């Protein structure tokens, strides 16, 4: 077993108490990953002989400075915890490789991780600092269709739709970068050069065919007045505060607008939510009104009953404005 650093404290209030903590490892590695990608945090034990009964424990420093469980592996038994469930696994093909693979990396995964391997002969403790960067460090691309439904926007209306959501029509370069960052969307949308395209990372029959490889599917140039599609918008990094308005869970749309105004804010736009979610790791499971009359919620840490399979901005829909939900507000910088 690994030795613990134990300190006896002698004071008027803590006389004789012994505090033990994990020793600081000799090596620390920094690993950088793109948001939405997979990353491997390395941890290998250098034994020449195969030894059964390895105990591999991965932990992470939480906001309070204490260590929380990520994954525990004892022989063939493995258990992941919390937000890491179904997202982490040991990536080594050999017994002595305890490297951790994290899928669908989010901004919430940033931090210091610790790997501890015990086998009775050689014990290893190694710290890895994970840094996460967005492929679109200054903004985010998101698909948008209004209350009228899919494929209802000509180019002029597409420009207005993005502007109304605090964004602009995305460029080909921005959509391509978003595709590299993992964006997969089957509905075609306008880009600012007048072309209509959509990004596919998982080829399938309804989305251009399963035999084609991943990439941007293009309809080419379209008539800006007569053709109707969705649109891909680009929202810049937030200049203000996006937040869920606490204790306001039963509001009609009009009540939601007024509730934000009373807090010296405005009801948030779709672009605000996407920017907060993608660039700041904003995570909240409650559905709330946005300025376009839609009800959505942003999940950067997938979990049971709350976007369990992927990080995403979830759309509930465009309900009757008399129905009651919470609300997301945005307070611009002064």
Please list the residues that pair with 168 across neighbouring strands: 234
CATH number at residue 195: 3.10.100.10
What pLDDT shows up at residue 66? 83
Q: In this structure, are residues 114 and 66 in contact, taking their beta carbons and an 8 Å threshold?
A: no
Q: Determine the Cα angle at 228 with ends 222 and 233, to 5°.
A: 85
**pLDDT exceeds cutoff 90 at 63:** no
Strand 77-80 with 17-21, pairing: unpaired
| Domain match, 197 and 228 both | yes
Which backbone phi and psi does 184 adopt, to 5 degrees? -130, 120
Domain count, the chain: 3
Mean pLDDT computed over 273-279: 95
Both 176 and 228 in one domain: the answer is yes
CA dihedral (161, 165, 171, 175) in degrees, to 10, reads -110
Give me the mean pLDDT over the 248-271 stretch: 97
Q: What percent of the chain has pLDDT over 90?
A: 55
| Residue after which a domain boundary falls, among 235, 265, 294 | 235
Band of residue 235 on the pLDDT scale cut at 50, 70, 90: very high
Quick check: 1 pLDDT over 60? Answer: no
Question: What element of type H or E holds 5?
Answer: strand 5-9
Spatial CA neighbour of 103 closest among 57, 43, 41, 36: 36
**Token pair of 209, please?**
């065919």
Task: Classify residue 101 as left (phi > 0), alpha (psi -120 to 50) or beta.
Answer: beta
63 and 97 in a common domain: yes
Q: Is the pLDDT of residue 334 over 80?
A: no
Look at the block and give the residue holding tokens 């964006």.
183
Q: Does residue 1 belong to any structural domain of this protein?
A: no
The answer to whether residues 33 and 127 belong to one domain is yes
pLDDT band at 150 (very low <50, low <70, confident <90, very high): very high
Are both 226 and 306 inside the same structural domain? no
Q: Which pLDDT belongs to residue 14? A: 34
Q: What angle do CA 266, 271, 272 make, to 5 degrees?
A: 45
For 172-215, how does the pLDDT look when each residue is reduced to its tens digit (9 = 90+)?
999 998 998 889 999 999 999 999 999 999 899 989 888 888 99
Assess whether 121 and 154 both reside in one domain: no
In a domain? residue 160: yes
Structure confidence at residue 199 (pLDDT) = 96
pLDDT surpassing 90 at residue 75: no
Structural domain contains residue 267: yes
Residue 99 domain flag: yes
What are residue 253's phi and psi, to 5 degrees? -60, -45
Mean pLDDT of the chain: 85
- 226 and 268 both lie in a single domain: no
- pLDDT at 157 (0 to 100): 97
pLDDT tens-digit map of 91-139: 765 556 789 999 877 767 888 999 998 876 667 888 999 987 765 557 9
Residue 302 and residue 224 share a domain: no
- What pLDDT was estimated at residue 72? 93
Nearest partner of 309 among 90, 103, 51, 40, judged by Cα: 103
Contact yes or no for 208/193 (Cβ under 8 A): no
- Which residue, 189, 215, 235, sits at the end of a domain? 235
Per-residue pLDDT band at 87 (split at 50, 70, 90): confident
User: So what's the pLDDT on residue 119?
Assistant: 72
Regarding whether 172 and 255 lie in a shared domain, the answer is no
- pLDDT tens digits, residue range 11-62? 333 333 333 345 555 568 899 887 667 889 998 776 544 545 678 999 998 7
pLDDT given for residue 135 in this prediction: 56
Same domain, 242 and 327: yes
User: Lowest-confidence range among 4-8, 142-146, 216-220?
Assistant: 4-8
Give the pLDDT score at 10: 34
Full residue range of the structural domain in which residue 174 is found: 139-235
Write down which residue in 180, 202, 235 finishes a domain. 235
pTM of the model: 0.62
Residue 102: which CATH number?
2.60.40.10
Position 2 in a domain: no
The percent of residues in the chain predicted with pLDDT above 70, rounded, is: 84
Q: Measuring CA to CA, which residue among 112, 131, 99, 87 is closest to residue 301?
A: 87
Q: Within a domain: residue 248? A: yes
pLDDT at position 187, please?
95
């Amino acid at each position: 077993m690994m030795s613990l650093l134990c300190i006896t404290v002698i004071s008027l209030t803590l006389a004789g108490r012994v505090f033990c903590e994990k020793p600081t490892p000799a090596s620390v590695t920094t690993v950088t990953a793109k948001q939405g990608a997979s990353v491997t945090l390395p941890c290998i034990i250098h034994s020449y002989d195969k030894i059964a009964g390895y105990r591999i424990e991965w932990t992470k420093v939480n906001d309070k400075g204490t260590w929380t469980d990520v994954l525990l592996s004892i022989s063939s038994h493995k258990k992941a915890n919390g937000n890491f469930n179904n997202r982490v696994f040991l990536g080594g093909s050999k017994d002595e490789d305890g490297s951790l693979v994290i899928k669908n990396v989010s901004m919430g995964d940033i931090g210091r991780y610790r790997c501890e391997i015990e086998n009775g002969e050689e014990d290893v403790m190694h710290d890895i600092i994970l840094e996460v960067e967005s492929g679109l460090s200054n903004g985010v691309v998101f698909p948008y269709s209004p209350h009228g439904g899919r494929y209802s926007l000509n180019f002029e209306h597409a420009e207005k739709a993005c502007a109304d959501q605090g964004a602009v029509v995305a460029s080909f370069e921005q959509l391509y970068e978003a595709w590299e960052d993992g964006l997969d969307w089957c509905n075609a949308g306008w880009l600012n050069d007048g072309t209509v395209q959509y990004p596919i990372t998982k080829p399938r029959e309804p989305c251009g065919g399963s035999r084609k490889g991943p990439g941007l599917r293009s309809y080419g140039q379209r008539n800006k007045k007569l053709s109707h599609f969705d649109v891909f918008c680009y929202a810049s990094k937030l200049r203000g505060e996006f937040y869920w308005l606490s204790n306001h869970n039963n509001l009609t749309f009009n009540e939601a607008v007024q509730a934000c105004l009373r807090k010296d804010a405005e009801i948030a736009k779709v672009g605000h939510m996407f920017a907060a979610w993608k660039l700041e790791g904003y995570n909240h499971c409650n559905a709330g009104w946005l300025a376009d009359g839609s009800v959505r919620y942003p999940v950067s840490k997938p979990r049971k009953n709350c976007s369990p399979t992927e990080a995403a901005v979830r759309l509930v829909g465009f309900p009757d404005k008399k129905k009651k939900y919470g609300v997301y507000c945005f307070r611009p910088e002064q």
